[in-house]
């Protein structure tokens, strides 16, 4: 199956991000429950390997990571997707490395690509960008939201369909699982 490991967008960021998406018309907006930051894209993975990754992810020993959304970007010359950049905080980059090692220990080869953390907001038919969308991009070039803590890492199955990808959570790991509850009240 096709799989990837990601941080679901922290709850505290869902509302501000959904509010930003309200201004987007030119394409298919990513539904709130699908908003995520990919840590490692695995591609096609065998079932037994998936089980090993799930097992390790559920026991991951790592701290929560700060997520700050910072400016706008896109993929493809003709803009097939639009995203918010995520600041590459040291903790986030280290977590991506750890997750990648988990996937490799289970027997996958994670593509050697530069880690560019982002949250995809919109997918569109590649082509000319409408004045509306151009204005939205210019207006949000300096948008900054956060930091908020991400405390959950999820292994997703991704099925590509004509009406967009369908993500199914297969396993999750808690970051900072050993922290005493009081720490969150400070
Ligand atoms: P679609 O491909 O239909 O636009 P999608 O990209 O969300 O949907 P997938 O292709 O399954 O669905 O990718 C899942 C996640 O992994 C997405 O966040 C995607 O940006 C990311 N991803 C996909 N391919 C790669 C890759 N080669 N390197 C890094 N991240 C990738
Ligand atoms: Mg894709």
Give residues (CB < 6 A) around ligand 1: 2, 4, 38, 41, 111, 113, 120, 123, 158, 160, 165
Q: Is residue 165 part of a domain?
A: yes
- pLDDT of 96 > 90? The answer is yes
pLDDT of residue 185: 65
Kindly write down the DSSP assignment for every residue of 52-66, as one continuous string: HHHHHHHT-----EE
Q: How confident is the model at residue 111 (pLDDT cuts 50, 70, 90)?
A: confident
H/E segment holding residue 148: strand 144-150
Quick: pLDDT tens for 140-175.
999 999 999 999 999 999 999 998 899 999 999 999
CA of 150 to the centre of ligand 2 (A): 23
Q: Is residue 56 part of a domain?
A: yes
Give the position, in ligand 1's atom list, of the atom nearest the Cα of 123. Answer: 4
Query: Ligand 1: which of 30, 158, 170 to mutate, most ligand atoms within 8 Å of CB?
Result: 158
Which residues carry out catalysis? 36, 118
Report CA 80 to chain centroid distance, whole Å. 17
Q: Give me the chain's average pLDDT, please.
A: 94
CATH number of the domain bearing residue 19: 3.90.1140.10
Query: Ligand 1: which of 41, 86, 116 to mutate, most ligand atoms within 8 Å of CB?
Result: 41
Q: How confident is the model at residue 110 (pLDDT cuts 50, 70, 90)?
A: confident
101 and 42 Cβ atoms separated by less than 8 Å: no
Domain limits for position 20: 2-176
- pLDDT of 114 > 80? The answer is yes
pLDDT average, residue stretch 26-42: 96
* Total domain count, the chain: 1
57 and 24 Cβ atoms separated by less than 8 Å: no
Q: Is residue 186 part of a domain?
A: no
pLDDT average, residue stretch 72-92: 96
DSSP helix/strand/coil, 81: strand
- Mark residue 53 as left, alpha or beta (left: phi above 0; alpha: psi -120 to 50; beta: remaining): alpha
Among 149, 126, 166, 140, which Cα is nearest to 21's?
Answer: 140
Q: Is residue 185 part of a domain?
A: no
Q: Is residue 182 part of a domain?
A: no
Q: Is residue 133 part of a domain?
A: yes
DSSP helix/strand/coil, 87: coil
Interhelix angle 90-105/47-58, rounded to 10 degrees, is 140
pLDDT average, residue stretch 173-181: 85
Q: Is residue 26 part of a domain?
A: yes
Q: Is residue 183 part of a domain?
A: no
Give the C-alpha separation, 119 to 121, whole Å.
6
Among 12, 140, 11, 166, which Cα is nearest to 74's?
Answer: 140
Q: How confident is the model at residue 4 (pLDDT cuts 50, 70, 90)?
A: very high
């Amino acid at each position: 199956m096709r799989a990837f490991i990601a941080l679901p967008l922290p709850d505290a960021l869902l509302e501000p991000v959904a509010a930003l998406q309200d201004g987007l018309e030119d394409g298919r907006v990513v539904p709130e429950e699908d908003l995520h930051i990919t840590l490692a894209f695995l591609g096609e993975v065998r079932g037994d390997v998936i089980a090993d990754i799930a097992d390790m992810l559920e026991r991951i020993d790592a701290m929560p990571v700060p997520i700050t959304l910072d400016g706008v970007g896109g993929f493809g010359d003709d803009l097939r997707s639009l995203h918010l950049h995520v600041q590459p905080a040291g903790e986030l980059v280290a977590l991506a490395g750890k997750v990648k090692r988990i996937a490799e220990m289970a027997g996958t080869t994670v593509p050697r690509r530069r880690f560019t953390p982002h949250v995809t907001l919109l997918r569109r038919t590649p082509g000319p960008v409408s004045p509306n969308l151009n204005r939205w991009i210019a207006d949000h070039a300096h948008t900054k939201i956060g930091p908020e803590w991400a405390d959950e890492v999820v292994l997703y199955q991704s099925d590509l369909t004509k009406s967009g990808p369908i993500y199914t959570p297969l396993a999750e790991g808690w970051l900072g699982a050993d922290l005493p509850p009081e720490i969150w009240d400070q």
